[in-house]
Amino acid sequence: MSTVQDIAARVLERVADKNPAADAAVTVSRESSALTRFAESFIHQNVADECYRVVLQVHVDGRTAAASTNRTTPDAVSALVASALAAAALTQEDAGWAGLSPRQDVHTTGNWDEATAAAAPDARARAVRSFVDAAAGLACAGYCQTKSVEAAFANSAGQAVSARSTQASMDAIARTGGSDGAARTAAIALSDVDGAELGAAAAAKALAGREQFGLEPGRYEVVLEPGAVSDLVSGLLWQGLNGKAVVEGRSFARLGEQQFDPAVSLWDDSTDEHATGLPFDAEGTPKRRLELVTAGLTAGIPHDRRTAAAGGSETTGHAVEGGDRMGALPTDVRLGPGATDDLIADVERGLLISDFWYTRALDPKTLIYTGLTRNGVWLIEDGRLGSAVSTLRFTQSYVDALAPGAVLGVSRSMQSSPRAIAPMAGGSSSLLVPSLRLASWNITGGAAG
């Protein structure tokens, strides 16, 4: 079997044969993904696939085109190269071309667990069995997933890097019939995914969420659990802390300004021990830790080469496949922890919210989102958790929610979320966030209207 590095080299050779003047960049990944899905406490979908992805970009006579295939045979490579070169000859000039990445070494070769890469379907099914058995007889639904990726990048400017990563995750709910409770985790190794622990936690949340009552719309102090915080962070990244959004003038971000509460620090680091993203981006640029928000100060914007050139800065190594449309996105994001795990004790009257659901930006610049709660809301009164509350709709600016003075607490403990931040070619992503206590959240309706 050819290595991903060999295939990348073959693609570049083929491009050079056909057009020695062409700039070329290729990413080759070999991916294996398996996902065991369950509902009503039985496995109803259990899937796996193995694939290659070969993504080639060429730049010829000022014109750029990309093509991809999942085949690696000599004929398929020839067809890929021919297709990309033919398209480049026919398309319009690319005024935003920012050149190829220069030769640079990666700072890590990725986090890899051999047992996870080789995990058999029985291993995932046993994790599901453990979740269901620990869930106190409640109906359960969710998934257990393992995946691995080996990837190589090479370009005609001499850059050649490779890395590999694994990820295991479980995200599931237990259901009473009137309430759901969720539990989730993501890790590098399947051995760190404890189905029984998650099943018990989900069941406890579901049972605590029974007998819900409706709540009047209005502004409430809130404690957001990591599931809800993940959504908040993703919203900031997609719409605002994104080089393309900044260059196009539709981002809230203003570098160097105190746009967030001093309790907020946010960074991306694909080189740390929890990272499941690859340590280089889709343009082959090695990744380094990037400070996005430091003690509330907007400190950095993820850029790829194109957005960096347009914005007069340097790439930060955050190019993703499809980035011409989506912009530059981080893959291993961490929201810094606080010093306590009791965020409820000082809340006079507020809400504890587990997850947000179906959140959509109403305005990209102010980051006003609407969405709903999911998997549990509870009233907090006089520092104590009270009755469960039925599903709520909110309409709230994510930037305002984290503004100076708005963050009243950050938990010490963090949760690793399986949520995907960026649909990066050949890679995973990781998101580590704490719980947050926020001064105000705008509830605009309930399940009844």
Partner 1 sequence: MFEAATRAVEAALGAGARYADARVMHSRYESMTAQNGQVEDLTQRDTVGIGVRALVGSSWGFFAVPDLDAAAARRAGETAAEIARASALVPGADLELVSTEVRKDSWASACDEDPLSVSMSDKGDLLVGVTATMRQAGVPLASALYQIWDTEKWFVSSEGHRIDQRIRECGAGMHCMTYGEGSTQRRSYPSFRGQYGTAGWELVRSIDLPAHAERIAAEATELLTAPLCPPGTTDVILGGEQMSLQIHESVGHAVELDRILGWEAGYAGTSWLDLSKLGRLRYGSDLMTVTADPTLPGALGSFGYDDEGTPAAANDIVRDGIWVGVLAGRDSASIAGLDYAGAVRADGYARIPMVRMTNVGLLPGPDTLESMIAATDDGIFMEHNRSWSIDDKRRNFQFGCEIGWEIKGGTRGRLLRNPTYTGIGPDFWASMDMLAGESERRFWGTPNCGKGQPGQTGHTGHPAMPARFRNVRVGVRA
How far apart are CB 238 and partner 1 at their closest, in Å?
14
Name residues contacting partner 1, limited to 13-72 (CB under 8 A).
33-52, 64-71
List Cα–Cα distances, 354 to 164, 374, 389, in angstroms: 33, 7, 12
Q: Which of residues 204-263 bind partner 1 (CB under 8 A)?
A: 248-250
CB-nearer residue toward partner 1: 126 or 289: 126
Residue 143 CB, shortest distance to partner 1, in Å, is 5
What CA–CA distance (Å, rounded) separates 321 from 406? 36
> Phi and psi dihedrals of 372, rounded to 5?
-130, 165
Query: What's the full length of the chain, in residues?
Result: 449
State the DSSP string of 380-445: EETTEEEEEE--EEEEEEHHHHTSTTTEEEEEEEEEEE---S---TT---EEEEEEEEEEEEEEEE
Applying CB under 8 A, which part among 307-315, 344-352, 395-403, 408-416 lies near partner 1? Answer: 395-403
Among 374, 376, 427, 434, binds partner 1 (CB under 8 A): 374
Residue from 160, 310, 311, 322 in contact with partner 1 (CB under 8 A): 322
The footprint of partner 1 on residues 86-105 (CB under 8 A) is 87, 90-96
| Distance in Å, CB of 214 to partner 1, minimum | 12
The reply to whether 132 sits near partner 1 by the rule CB under 8 A is yes
How far the first Cα of the chain sits from its last, in Å, is 58
Give, as ranges, the residues between 323 and 342 that touch partner 1 (CB under 8 A): 324-325
Examine residue 362 and tell whether it contacts partner 1 (CB under 8 A). yes
Query: Which CB, 262 or 423, lies closer to partner 1?
Result: 423
Cβ atoms of 332 and 263 within 8 Å: the answer is: no
Decide if residue 359 touches partner 1 (CB under 8 A).
yes
Rounded (10°) angle between helices 121-133 and 195-208: 30
Whole-angstrom distance, CA of residue 213 vs CA of residue 68 = 52
Taking 3-state DSSP, the helix, strand and coil percentages for the chain, each rounded to the nearest 5, stand at: 20, 40, 40
368 belongs to the binding site for partner 1 (CB under 8 A): yes
Q: CB 139 → partner 1: shortest distance, Å?
A: 7
User: Under the criterion CB under 8 A, does residue 397 sit at the interface with partner 1?
Assistant: yes
Q: How far is the CB of 295 from partner 1 (least distance, A)?
A: 26
Residues 259-318 that bind partner 1 (CB under 8 A): none
